[in-house]
Structure 1
Amino acid sequence: MTHRSTRPGRRWHGLVVAVAILAALGVVAVIGTRWIARNDVLPVSTPWGPECSVWTGEEQVRLDRDQAQRATTAAAVSAQGDSAPIEAPDTDDIPDAVTAVLEDGPEDDAGPSLTCRSVKNRELGVEEDLEPSGLTPRAEGLKDGMEEYFSDLSLGGYHPGGYDTGHGEGSAHYEGRAIDIFYRPVDEDNRREGWLMAHWLIAHAPDYEIDVIIFDDRIWSTSYPSLGWRDYDADPDNEILRHLDHVHVDVQRGNGADGG
């Protein structure tokens, strides 16, 4: 049998090409991130560095998970005023511009100001049995968590025994994994309240094994952990399908399965 040896020059050439490709991808990622920041598109969360990012209108500010959780909780407490069920956490280590944009929203546009990257928990077991509420234990835990931090929530998307009609094909509502938080009527004040909730959910996603959040023509999911908020396509004439009147949130199914 004849054995062919690989020439050293060929190996080195392949290594140089691979390094060049990785370097080019890194430059593209950095330039892309800076372009997004300059053009005020959406907050971004790169695969490296702190898990969360806030677009203040002038710059991207990176936050670790704890800072993001405290900042979004403080914003929610401030918005609720005396009805807030908890006291605001300390945010002295967080820039004033961050807390201001999370509390008040971007000027003239509530929009998403914060994003975080989260991945699926591959060690979760499957949950098939529903609680009396019609939610899975994980979704029930999320509901309890929201009610701990927010007062007077208008919740729906579940009922005892579960749903078998009324939602889109493959919806997590049919599995008892989804909750809708309603903000009606559709107006700017309720839109801002909805983004307070959406930001709080995205910051706390790992704590509650959250898989998907949809609101105000935007979607975030653990399937694309670094892309942040993306456009959500739906019937432009249907406020419900566009999720303008409610925040949809669902928890992970388990065993690495995608959310719905």
Structure 2
Amino acid sequence: MRIRALLAAATVAVATLALAPAPASAHTVSVINGYTVNLRTGPGTSYPSIGTVTGGQRVAIACTVRGQSVTGPYGATDVWDYLHLEGYVSDAFLYTGTSGAVGPPCGGSQLHWDAASMNLGVEQPGTRRLYHELKATPGWNPRGGDRHFAGIYVNKPGEHGEGRALDYWMDADNATERQIGWSIANHLRANAGAYGVQTIIWNDKVWVSSNPNAGWQEYDEVGNCGSTSKTCKHNDHVHISQNWAGAVLKTSHWM
């Protein structure tokens, strides 16, 4: 049974809430098998759906609120969970191991994800889609096939572990590949909003969307990576990370 059918029968109204998720560690749980659940802009069926999550999918709960009561396979609850996908789902359709809320209450002014608690261990669809687009762009795949795919590395911490960072092999010591690497990097920088790009590191330079006008800055490979190796300098691969909207295909390029 899909959540729309269940939610249509709900009778408890939700007051208008001016909520923003509070700083929180994220709890990783699963959607209950056999269900496709609407991801909404607020904790009730009156809020628009912005997508769905499906049975068995791993999701991260940043915080929780009380909202419309919904009946799921294990009973009714008015707990709604704010997920890493930047929307709310009814806790009735998440397997959390408890009947109560597992996340801290929402209510602060900013959302802060704890990367150590958010190692979802799965590739995000926008990040995989970004790789396929780079691979298919004429001139950006001189080695052919998947030989430029260094990895998304979901077994690592941080953005890679969250499945939203891609490494794309390019050799800065090769004049042709160095030029291609810069072509990729500058294209993604120029279209960062559309792709949901957060950070680009290439050829010992870094660009971050949080300070876009600073342009390309020197990359601190020792402070960030621990050595001055070619890999730490990002002279053998382009590193691209996405914000969550880009990683889940919610930015303009993907819609």
TM superposition score normalised by structure 2: 0.42
More relative contact order, 1 or 2 (CA 8 Å, 6+ apart): 1
- Relative to total residues, which structure has the larger helix share, 1 or 2? 1
Structure with greater Cα Rg: 1
TM superposition score normalised by structure 1: 0.41
- Relative to total residues, which structure has the larger strand share, 1 or 2? 2
